[in-house]
Every structure is written in structure tokens, then in C-alpha cells.
Amino acid sequence: MSVASKGEDSRQAILKTALSRARKTGLEGLTIGALADELQRSKSGVFAHFGSREDLQLAVLEEGARQFVDEVFVPALKEKRGLPRLRALFRYWLKRVLKLEDGGCLFVAGAAEFGNVEGPVKDKIAQLQEQWRKELTKAVQLTMDTSPHDEVDPAQLAFELFSLVLGVHHDARMFGPKDALRRGELAGERLLSAHFSPKK
């Protein structure tokens, strides 16, 4: 193994722990000191991979987005283009936000933490959220191309699906996951059925 790839493995191992920590304590709770303690490494060892706390936060956001793609987007691509794929996206997404044992969604928490704090971290969250919203809007557009539909503004429907996921994330943590999932599924199905027909 080359020195470069060992360095890459080590960076990846730190990032994995950092992401898991950030989901539980928020991005603000992510300090290089606490992370070094958890990893039983020296602070300078962590600093060598991430020049600053902010660089670490940005890298954790990228890693979270990568994992989100693997858990939500990639499996949904196995479904037929159009309504089946849109439904699958929503289903895998709900599954992701209902992993209570992992902590909260990095992006939901990050948007609340950094929503009023201008700077590179907020910009990165907004950029990743915009990417995801565009993919979701594209999935709605593909559904319009393949299913009979009424007047749909794809970006509006993407906003409404996104809002439902925020509601499920919230209710699962505040009131428990069972009702949250049931309400989210029901609302999502109604929303899609209202715009697309026939049901199938």
C-alpha cells in the first residue's frame, strides 16, 4: 500500500467517525479535540488531514451527501423511471431520516444550526440541498414524462415532498417514529396520487 493511499484510508476513517459524531451533536459539536479523543489520536494527527475545524465540517457535509446518495438515490435508480422511481426515492428517504439510532439528519440539523450564520458552512449546506432538490425535481419531471398528470410544477411538488420529510424527521424525534412514518407515507401517497394517474 502506498503512503498516499494509507493517508487516504486514515482520512476516510476520521471522516466516518466525524460524520457519525456530527449526526448526534450537530456540526457545532464537532471539534478536532473531541474527535481526536474519540479516535484516540493526537490532535495534530487529525489536523494533518483537516487544516481547520471548518474544513472538517465541510468534509463531513460532503461525506454525508455521498452516503445519502448511496442510501437513497442509488437504490431508487433500480426502480423503473417515473412514478415507481419517485415513490422509491421518497420511501428510501423516509427510511434514512427514521434511523433514530444514528442521530439526526446532518442537513436538517445543519440547516437549523447554520441557517442564520453566513459563511462557507451555510453555503455548502445550501449548495448540497440545492443539488438534492434539483435531482428530486428531475425525478418529478421524469414522472410527468411517463404518467398521465394534471398541472404540476415539478419544483413545487419537490418542495412539498421535501417538507413532508422534514415533518417526519421532526415528529419521529419529538413524538415517536410510528405515527411519524404512517403520516408521512399517507401524505406522500396522497400528494402523488393527486397529481399522477393511474395509481399503480
Binding site for its own copies (CB under 8 A): 23-24, 26, 28-29, 100, 103-104, 108-109, 111-113, 115-116, 125-126, 129-130, 155-156, 159-160, 162-164, 166-171, 173-175, 183, 186-187, 194
Minimum gap (Å) between residue 189 Cβ and its own copies: 12
| Stretch (H or E) spanning 124 | helix 120-146
Minimum gap (Å) between residue 130 Cβ and its own copies: 7
Please state at what angle helix 154-175 crosses helix 120-146, rounded to 10 degrees.
Answer: 120
Cβ nearer to its own copies, comparing 109 with 192 = 109
Minimum gap (Å) between residue 197 Cβ and its own copies: 15
Cβ nearer to its own copies, comparing 42 with 193 = 193
* 85 close to 76: Cβ distance less than 8 angstroms: yes
Q: What residues are paired with 149 via a beta bridge?
A: 196
Alpha carbon distance 38, 85 (integer Å):
39
Cβ nearer to its own copies, comparing 19 with 49 = 19
Cβ nearer to its own copies, comparing 44 with 116 = 116
Minimum gap (Å) between residue 196 Cβ and its own copies: 15
Minimum gap (Å) between residue 42 Cβ and its own copies: 27
* 168 close to 94: Cβ distance less than 8 angstroms: yes
Alpha carbon distance 80, 198 (integer Å):
16
Among 104, 108, 73, residue whose Cα is nearest residue 88: 73
